[in-house]
Structures are given as structure tokens and as C-alpha cells.
Amino acid sequence: MGKLEGKTAVVTGGSTGIGLATARRLATEGAHVFITGRREPELEKAVATIGNATAVPGDVSVAADVDRLYERVREHGQGLDVLFANAGINHIAPLDELTEASHDAVFDINVKGTFLTVQKALPLLNDGASVILTSSTAAEGGGAGMSAYGASKAAVRAYARAWADELGSRGVRVNAISPGPVDTAMWDAAFGDRAKEMLETVAAGLPPKRFADPDEIAAAVTFLASSDSSFVYGANLYVDGGMNQI
């Protein structure tokens, strides 16, 4: 029997990368997983690989889309035990080139989207549920061109602290996870033609001399999702290959 047998989970940004790897891991542990994302074809492909899953297309920054997601969860009839608010985007640009539209897009998905995802889940969260938010090493590490992304992920970290305090009386645990560099399509999208060069440069500075596999991040999220982390509240779990630690 898996650690999440009979549980219901939601993973936003669940069609690729960390979200998809985590949805697979949660399903393997026995949960029925609802995944959401903006690209319906990718969602359907993801469901086929996850198994015990339901896809609900939508944009987490649009309240009506989040409502539609939770209506499907409500119809499932078992409440919600695990919420992984993972959907996020990045736009790399120095301050003098960062446009208002790009800045707003990053904050709409990463900050507003996280807020809507968790707030609208409140009526469904079972006592003892686990909420995990995806922050980032960029929230503390800085870096040229990363101001909008880093600031958005710092806001997510702040959410985890405050919401852990607010929801703790229900036994609902809220924690954050901060991945370091992970080998996903998001990295390629962020750096384009420079992706391979940047990957090699960053990896050389890490103790393991490599990027993380999405499954390694998923394993850490599953720890926070399960009763193995029953006394962990408001934490930020770094899965960063030592990037922000040494």
C-alpha cells in the first residue's frame, strides 16, 4: 500500500517537468491526481503516462479556470488531501529591458496563480491536508536578469510562512520547496540557444556537478505530501544540489 493510498491530489503545471514527475509519483503512492495546465494536448499525454489521473485544462491566473478545476475535484467526492501549487513561468531580462507586460505575466502566474490555487482550495481541503508551494533558489540567490522571477518566488516563500500559521489549527501543513537547476523544458525555454552552455556552467559550480532530474524533486514533494512530514510546517525544503547551501 502506498503512502497516499485513497488520497486526492491536485498538481498545477502538471503536464511537464517537475509537475508531471510529481503527479506520477503521487499516483504511484496511491493518490488520484488532478492535473491542470494551459496546454490541453500535453495534459492528455500526461494523463496517459500517469494512470490514475484527471486532466482539467486551465490557467491558474484566471479565477474561473481555477473554479472549474475545483468543481471537478468536488465531483470526485473525497475532498482534497494534497495540493502542489507548482505552475510557474520565467522571463529572463535585465532591468532596463524588462517590460511591464513580461513582469506582469510572471507575477500573474507565479504569485496570483499560487494565491488563487490555494485560496479556492480551502473549502475542499481535508483536515490534515498538505499544501506544497514551488518557490526557487532564485528567491534568495539573485542573478542578473532574474529579478521578476526571483521576486515572484520570494513572494511564494512568504505565502508558505503565513499560510502555515493560518491553516495549522486544522492540521493543514503548508510548506515550500525550492528546486535548484532542474533538467526540464523550462530551462530551455528560458535560455534558448544558450541553454546548453548555461547548463554546463551552472552544473560545474554544484557539488554533484549536474542538474537535478525532475524525479528527484518529485521525491522531495512526496515527502512533504505524506505523513512522513507530519510535524513540518512553514518550511522551505531546498532540493538544489547545494547551490544555496555552500
Catalytic residues: 149
Cβ atoms 12, 66 nearer than 8 A: no
Residue among 230, 178, 237, 242 nearest 206 (CA): 242
How far apart CA 22 and CA 68 sit, in angstroms, is 22
| 240 alpha-carbon distance from chain centroid | 15
Query: Rounded CA gap, 234 and 161, in Å?
Result: 5
Q: Which amino acid is at 231?
A: F
Task: Convert 121-181 into a string of H (helix), E (strand) and C (coil).
Answer: CCCCEEEEEEEEEECCCHHHHCCCCCHHHHHHHHHHHHHHHHHHHHHHHHCCEEEEEEECC
What one-letter code names the amino acid at 210? R
